[in-house]
Amino acid sequence: MFVSHTREVANIALAIRTEHLTKIYDVGWGRQNVGIDNLTLEVEEGQIFGLVGPNGSGKTTTLKLLLGLIFPTSGNAEVLGMSLDSAAYKSRIGYLPEGPYFYEHLNAPELLRMYGSLFGLRGPDFEKRIQELLELVDMWDRREYRVANYSRGMRQRVGVAQALINEPDLLFFDEPTAGLDPIGAKHIREVILELRERGKTVFLCSHLLKEMEPICDNIAILERGKLITRGSVDELLAGDVTQYRVEARDLDDEIIEQLGDGVAEIIRLDDSCRILFDSREDAFEAATRLEDAGAYLMTVGPDRRTLEEVFIDAVGEEPKDASSVQGS
Amino acid sequence: MRAVYRVAKATYHEGWRRRFLNGILVFAILIIGSSWVFTYLQPGAELKMLIDVGLGSIRFFGMLIAVFLGVRLIPDEIEKRTIYTLLSKPVSRGQFLAGKFFGGLATVISNVALMGITFYVVFAIKAPQFAIPTEEGAPQYSMEFMYANVAKAILMSFLELAVVMGLAVVASVVFSWILAAIFTFFVYFVGQMSEFFGHLADPETGASPAARVILGTIYRIMPHFEIFDVREPILTDVPIVWGYMGRTFGMALIYIGIVLALGYLFFNRREV
Ligand SMILES: Nc1ncnc2c1ncn2[C@@H]1O[C@H](COP(=O)(O)OP(=O)(O)OP(=O)(O)O)[C@@H](O)[C@H]1O
Ligand SMILES: [Mg+2]
């Protein structure tokens, strides 16, 4: 039993490994910007890994370092078991940059043909793949459009298609759903999940926590270049299981006050209210009472935190639009 | 090789779409196409005037296009971030730099080829008229080698522009693009006079030893752009021998090789 367990651990292949990776940008006149600071991370193969953090926390910097677009100040990293100096890993990865841009005079199939040719891809099978990819990102109907006339979301869609052109084993997506409409964003999330299904590793950067939560296996939170929390999503969201929560809309203060003893904490969110209880019975009883009083019940159950809460906890800042009131 | 070719191809097509450079090309073709008009300014030296204006325009406007295209090629990729998707594919920085250079050069050469064809047509039509003495004492031009020489002169300008292109592309990865343009113009104009610096560095001129070292260094490291200027043999109707062309080609190649190698050293560590 023990033996097989260790073997399993040893077998887990790493898609990405960084060791004390540090990037300090020189911005002239002796001033420096911290890009990332001493980042040590491991990303296992076959998982969806989310790198989250506020604006300017170093997500894009990390990606650019891993792709050899910029160079570390210190520390090192390996991608697919190869050092960053090795060009060989480039043929097995795909990259969607933040706000991608392409040669303006080309249309989508021409663009994909050009990128494909860099991998030596051509011929009828490849043409079929181009069509599949453009259908996947819903750009096949608009294949005649030139990049110069694209909307932001269209560039993003083609950006996803070009990242997949070589059937990569490892994908780097920087804000994959930025600029996409809700249907487009959902679609991309489905694509990402399907990639994992096929055994690919996906490294995602985003600050859209609501999107990351249901798709990521593991998450690391960065702030000002520093890794502040990491772990599997299940671990991070487990929260305080001794508490139970009731979330409801359309309730006024009076009803809340009548709830009485069992209430541990009341958190008012923009359009709803979350009430935490110490016991399961209190929670369900309160839920019934709230519903009778005409409130719209949203959730009742063990308190599982949202990624947003984990994030705010870790980053240490109250959300602008949620005020916390201590219950009596 | 595949990567270089692909980058070059995209660069070539993209290069043709630069309005400002298209403007220079149209203007150059207008000037070259009407170069025979300028000949009326200098009665008696019409042929010289035709060749000066025609070949001079080709070199000058070609140089402008090479500089302005060359210094923008890589900065544009970086500013528009098209470089991210390229360098994350199996394209090394060396291949990228070479692809940009060759693609840009192909654009410039096709631009200049259009100017060259225009001039060649004008020349073929007008030159025989000017060669015939209109009155006693007017210069009697020999035109035995002239057609071939004019074509060779246009070929020489391709070589010259390749050197300018190499300088411009490489300068743009070392400096900002504006500084790179100024630098390239400077090297071009000083390079036109490199022989002159060579003479100044001669001990007989009486220059101080320090000045001689500086002038001598300029003479040695500047590309000798005057080797591409072949108006003299054209006007005196001496054949431009292939040996000279070959030597010039070799020198251009060596110069481009050195410049691109230096550019590679810079670009390989450049953050994008
Ligand atoms: N080229 C650069 N020169 C100087 N500083 C930079 C450069 N690029 C990024 N930085 C700095 O590095 C830090 C991290 O930036 P980065 O772009 O990695 O953040 P990010 O997490 O991707 O942010 P966002 O969510 O806004 O995309 C920031 O403080 C930024 O100012
Ligand atoms: Mg970013």
pLDDT in tens, A90-106: 999 999 999 999 999 99
pLDDT band, residue B184 (cuts 50/70/90) = very high
Give the span between the Cα atoms of A209 and B83, in whole angstroms: 29
Q: Give mean pLDDT, residues B196-218.
A: 79
Range with the poorest average pLDDT among A122-131, B60-69, B193-202: B193-202
A118 to B3: CB separation less than 8 angstroms, yes or no: yes
B269 to A71: CB separation less than 8 angstroms, yes or no: yes
Percent over 90 (pLDDT), chain A: 55
How wide is the angle at C-alpha A104 spanned by C-alphas A100 and A107, nearest 5°?
95
Span from the CA of A85 to the centroid of ligand 2 (angstroms): 23
- Domains of chain A, first to last: 14-236 (3.40.50.300), 240-303 (3.30.70.260)
Average pLDDT, chain A: 86
pLDDT score of B75 more than 50: yes
pLDDT score of A319 more than 50: no
pLDDT band, residue A4 (cuts 50/70/90) = very low
Q: Tell me which range, A251-260, B130-139, B212-221, B226-235, is most confidently predicted by mean pLDDT.
A: B226-235
User: What is the tally of structural domains in chain B?
Assistant: 1
Nearest-by-CA chain A residue for B76: A103
Percent over 70 (pLDDT), chain B: 96
Q: Give mean pLDDT, residues B213-232.
A: 83
pLDDT band, residue A2 (cuts 50/70/90) = very low
Identify the pLDDT of residue A147.
Answer: 93
B90 to A91: CB separation less than 8 angstroms, yes or no: yes
Dihedral through CA A174, CA A178, CA A179, CA A183, nearest 10? 120
pLDDT score of A322 more than 50: no
Task: Tally C-beta pairs within 8 A across A and B.
Answer: 71
| Structural contact between residues A156 and A108, judged by C-beta atoms closer than 8 angstroms | no
pLDDT score of B20 more than 60: yes
For residue B90, what is the enclosing H or E element? none
Closest atom of ligand 1 relative to the A57 alpha carbon: 21
Q: Please give the structure tokens belonging to residue B153.
A: 């002169």
Give the span between the Cα atoms of A94 and B250, in whole angstroms: 42
Domain limits for position B248: 2-269
pLDDT band, residue A161 (cuts 50/70/90) = very high
Span from the CA of B84 to the centroid of ligand 2 (angstroms): 14
Identify the pLDDT of residue B130.
Answer: 75
Higher pLDDT, A250 or A62: A62
Give the span between the Cα atoms of B122 and A305, in whole angstroms: 81
| Structural contact between residues A126 and A154, judged by C-beta atoms closer than 8 angstroms | no
Query: Could you tell me if the CB of A207 is within 6 A of ligand 1?
Result: yes
Closest-CA residue, ligand 1 atom 22, reads: A60
Span from the CA of A64 to the centroid of ligand 2 (angstroms): 10
Q: How far is A278 from chain B (nearest CA, A)?
A: 52
A104 to B88: CB separation less than 8 angstroms, yes or no: no
Q: Give mean pLDDT, residues B213-223.
A: 81
Query: Could you tell me if the CB of A35 is within 6 A of ligand 1?
Result: yes
pLDDT band, residue B169 (cuts 50/70/90) = very high
Span from the CA of A316 to the centroid of ligand 2 (angstroms): 20
pLDDT score of A44 more than 60: yes
Nearest-by-CA chain A residue for B269: A71
Range with the poorest average pLDDT among A101-110, B9-18, B143-152: B143-152
Query: Could you tell me if the CB of A56 is within 6 A of ligand 1?
Result: yes
Query: Could you tell me if the CB of A53 is within 6 A of ligand 1?
Result: yes
Q: What digits encode the pLDDT tens for the residues A216-245?
A: 999 999 999 999 988 888 888 776 677 888
Whole-model pTM: value is 0.86
Identify the pLDDT of residue A135.
Answer: 94
Q: Give mean pLDDT, residues A244-259.
A: 80
Chain B stretch 86-125, residues whose beta carbon is closer than 8 A to a beta carbon of chain A: 86-92
Identify the pLDDT of residue B35.
Answer: 87
Query: Could you tell me if the CB of A57 is within 6 A of ligand 1?
Result: yes
Identify the pLDDT of residue A1.
Answer: 41
A269: which strand partners?
none
B84 to A115: CB separation less than 8 angstroms, yes or no: no
pLDDT band, residue A11 (cuts 50/70/90) = low
Average pLDDT, chain B: 89
Give the span between the Cα atoms of A203 and B266, in whole angstroms: 30
Q: What digits encode the pLDDT tens for the residues A173-196?
A: 999 998 899 998 998 999 999 999
Identify the pLDDT of residue A265.
Answer: 83
Task: Report in angstroms the alpha-carbon separations of B38 from A233, A306, B51, B120, B129.
Answer: 79, 79, 10, 16, 15
